[in-house]
Chains A and B, each alone.
Chain A
């Protein structure tokens, strides 16, 4: 289990060296964080770099629509109980990001890789993972990523072909269950997370899915909620040995409990004792800037990232607990998806009665949605100025992908 990574062929070694050099240059010249450029260079010089760089390591690949970055960080922390872990950070979750991360830690015997759903077939194919984690699948950037069923289908075909891999799958998600149904080895986790709007009909046969409480089954084929090996309960989890373990996470919200239980189950499959895994992942508090609080002129603004309807629904639940003013920030760049129709799938009606500012490059689209949701609001396109216009005290800031990325970078530069 503790094999050290295989010695790299000359071509890969040279590719990695030049790639690392590009990352360093990119950082030094202020062009970027260097999370992808190095990998891009290395992959150009050696297209097999990902395969070669993962040889001899125990690899876990984490994918799904929401929670990838958080779960990856939790799993990497947990697996670090066993030894050095190479992992990609800050959402650089395509092969160039993986190659960059692996190149920087050539001797780490473990790798935990966050992977964009669309790249899962290529990455799982190249890295021969010991563990694959499939968190959830829901509508996200339909104009760029495509429809959920297309993604489910490609995950399903890839997973069916994985040998020697334990798939950790969320059995409360119909799409994930279908994707993992034919896995050679699968561990089912009841996460209790619910976005069912993409699974009224079966991804396998098209017949309706029937729900009774948490149980579900297809009315046309044998797809049904499997018996879970791990169960998420309120603030705790039940292990396969029927032990109850308190989670006591630093991160808020039910969806982070789900991320934690998925990570604990994956860590277990990697060989980490459960108590040890939970003790380590509890410490995760700031995931690439998410959930951190910034101080500005007497306002303490908590930064939350939400990218799609399922994510926004969960986040609105988290901010509902306290009645703080909220800045909602929406962009629609290519990485966000250009089509903002999804704003109408988010229950913004929950924000009625609260002080709300619509912000971001597409603040007016959001303002239209808020108008029809009968949420009083003003429009301030610059999110930092929006925070400054709020009353002093706590402020919740919820932003989608590029809006969050840019806001986080500006806030960090101010500090």
Chain B
């Protein structure tokens, strides 16, 4: 952990910010601040070098051309990759799960190299997966259910080094059966909503990994009510 302020890197919000995933960084920041942990969001825009000194990295979803440009930038400025070797916590959403893998293949059959952070490959599925998702966190990693909204064409196959984040009950996720990936302290998911406002237990898990401290409970009635509503609506 660098100094006393937890730094949350918001990676390329100008390219990977299509689906409100900026909200993930806000939720991390506020859930720390409200418990007296100093935290700040560090936006890293296109053209800026990527620092390797942040504690948590948040990567969002983007459209195809933006995603290609983002991965090019992240390979040219490998701060995120260096941070991973230093045990940084990383959340990759949607495009994140695709670009963190070994490769991703688009609908035009062109295969692009990924960042090799996750043992996975992604390819274009036949139809776009759109709608509410409910999944049960794998191995009781955090309190479920995992809920969110998916909107993606990609399908992802995990290799032996990556574990699924959750098992799909409603929706598609990676392949209709499992959703997301966990490898070390990297968590990937196809879910928007954004995912952390929808899943406070996942947000707190990432914070506990980054700070190494057990967090006090934080009861937000609106969040509890929204989760109940979404589960009811999707079931």
Q: Which residues of A contact B (CB under 8 A)?
A: 139, 142-143, 147-149, 197-198, 200-203, 206-208, 338-345, 364-365, 367-374, 379
CB pair B131–A206 under 8 Å, yes or no, is no
Which of the residues A197, A203, A365 comes within 8 Å of B17, measured between beta carbons?
Answer: A197
If over half of B's interface residues share one DSSP class (helix, strand or loop), that class is named, otherwise mixed; here it is: mixed
CB pair A147–B14 under 8 Å, yes or no, is no
**A-B contact list, 8 entries, CB within 8 Å:** A149-B65, A201-B69, A338-B132, A341-B21, A344-B26, A345-B22, A364-B225, A364-B226
Smallest CB gap from B30: residue in A:
A372
CA distance A341 to B66 in the complex (A): 19
CB pair B151–A344 under 8 Å, yes or no, is no
CB pair A338–B65 under 8 Å, yes or no, is no
CB pair B63–A147 under 8 Å, yes or no, is yes
Q: Which residues of chain B from 5 to 25 have a CB within 8 Å of any chain A CB?
A: 14-15, 17-23
CB pair A342–B20 under 8 Å, yes or no, is yes
Q: How far is the CB of A269 from chain B (nearest CB, A)?
A: 32
B22 surroundings in chain A (CB, below 8 A): 344-345
Q: Does B137 contact A (CB under 8 A)?
A: no
B132 surroundings in chain A (CB, below 8 A): 338
Which of the residues B15, B26, B149, B192 comes within 8 Å of A372, measured between beta carbons?
Answer: B26
Q: Which residues of B contact A (CB under 8 A)?
A: 14-15, 17-23, 26-27, 30, 46-47, 63-66, 68-69, 130-132, 149, 151, 192-194, 197, 220, 222-223, 225-226, 229
Smallest CB gap from A309: residue in B:
B20
CA distance A341 to B17 in the complex (A): 11
B192 surroundings in chain A (CB, below 8 A): 339, 341
Smallest CB gap from A147: residue in B:
B63
Q: How far is the CB of A136 from chain B (nearest CB, A)?
A: 17
CA distance A142 to B151 in the complex (A): 8
A340 surroundings in chain B (CB, below 8 A): 149, 193
CB pair A206–B149 under 8 Å, yes or no, is no
Q: How far is the CB of B35 from chain A (nearest CB, A)?
A: 14
B23 surroundings in chain A (CB, below 8 A): 341, 343-344, 369, 372
* A369 touching B197 in the complex, CB below 8 Å, given contacts A197-B17, A338-B149, A344-B20: yes
Q: How far is the CB of A31 from chain B (nearest CB, A)?
A: 28
CB pair A371–B18 under 8 Å, yes or no, is no
B19 surroundings in chain A (CB, below 8 A): 142, 339, 341-342
Q: A338-B149, A368-B222 are in contact. List 8 more A-B contacts (CB 8 A).
A: A143-B131, A143-B151, A147-B63, A149-B63, A339-B151, A341-B194, A344-B22, A371-B222
* A208 touching B69 in the complex, CB below 8 Å, given contacts A143-B151, A372-B30: yes
Smallest CB gap from A149: residue in B:
B63
CA distance A192 to B10 in the complex (A): 28
CB pair A372–B63 under 8 Å, yes or no, is no
CA distance A368 to B220 in the complex (A): 8
CA distance A202 to B47 in the complex (A): 15
B21 surroundings in chain A (CB, below 8 A): 341, 344
B18 surroundings in chain A (CB, below 8 A): 139, 142, 147, 198
Smallest CB gap from B64: residue in A:
A149
CB pair B66–A344 under 8 Å, yes or no, is no
Q: How far is the CB of A129 from chain B (nearest CB, A)?
A: 28
Q: How far is the CB of B158 from chain A (nearest CB, A)?
A: 25
CA distance A202 to B20 in the complex (A): 20
CB pair A197–B229 under 8 Å, yes or no, is no
* A344 touching B149 in the complex, CB below 8 Å, given contacts A200-B15, A338-B131, A368-B223: no
Which of the residues B14, B68, B151, B223 comes within 8 Å of A200, measured between beta carbons?
Answer: B14
Q: How far is the CB of A158 from chain B (nearest CB, A)?
A: 20
Q: How far is the CB of B190 from chain A (nearest CB, A)?
A: 12
A367 surroundings in chain B (CB, below 8 A): 222, 225-226
Q: How far is the CB of A337 from chain B (nearest CB, A)?
A: 10
* A339 touching B69 in the complex, CB below 8 Å, given contacts A369-B197, A372-B197: no
Q: How far is the CB of B192 from chain A (nearest CB, A)?
A: 4
Smallest CB gap from A346: residue in B:
B20
In this complex, the member of A142, A198, A341, A370 whose beta carbon has the largest number of chain B beta carbons within 10 angstroms is A341
A197 surroundings in chain B (CB, below 8 A): 14, 17
CB pair B47–A208 under 8 Å, yes or no, is yes
CB pair B223–A206 under 8 Å, yes or no, is no
In this complex, the member of B64, B131, B226 whose beta carbon has the largest number of chain A beta carbons within 10 angstroms is B226
CB pair B193–A206 under 8 Å, yes or no, is no
* A148 touching B63 in the complex, CB below 8 Å, given contacts A344-B20, A368-B222: yes
Q: How far is the CB of B123 from chain A (nearest CB, A)?
A: 19
Smallest CB gap from A366: residue in B:
B222
CA distance A371 to B63 in the complex (A): 29
CA distance A202 to B30 in the complex (A): 34
CA distance A344 to B193 in the complex (A): 9
B130 surroundings in chain A (CB, below 8 A): 143
Q: How far is the CB of A178 from chain B (nearest CB, A)?
A: 12
B46 surroundings in chain A (CB, below 8 A): 200-201, 208
CA distance A223 to B27 in the complex (A): 37
Q: How far is the CB of A356 from chain B (nearest CB, A)?
A: 13
Nearest 4 Cβ contacts at the A-B interface = A344-B23, A341-B20, A344-B20, A200-B14
CB pair A364–B27 under 8 Å, yes or no, is no
CA distance A257 to B9 in the complex (A): 38
Q: How far is the CB of B45 from chain A (nearest CB, A)?
A: 8
Smallest CB gap from A370: residue in B:
B222
Which of the residues A201, A342, A370, A372 comes within 8 Å of B66, measured between beta carbons?
Answer: A201
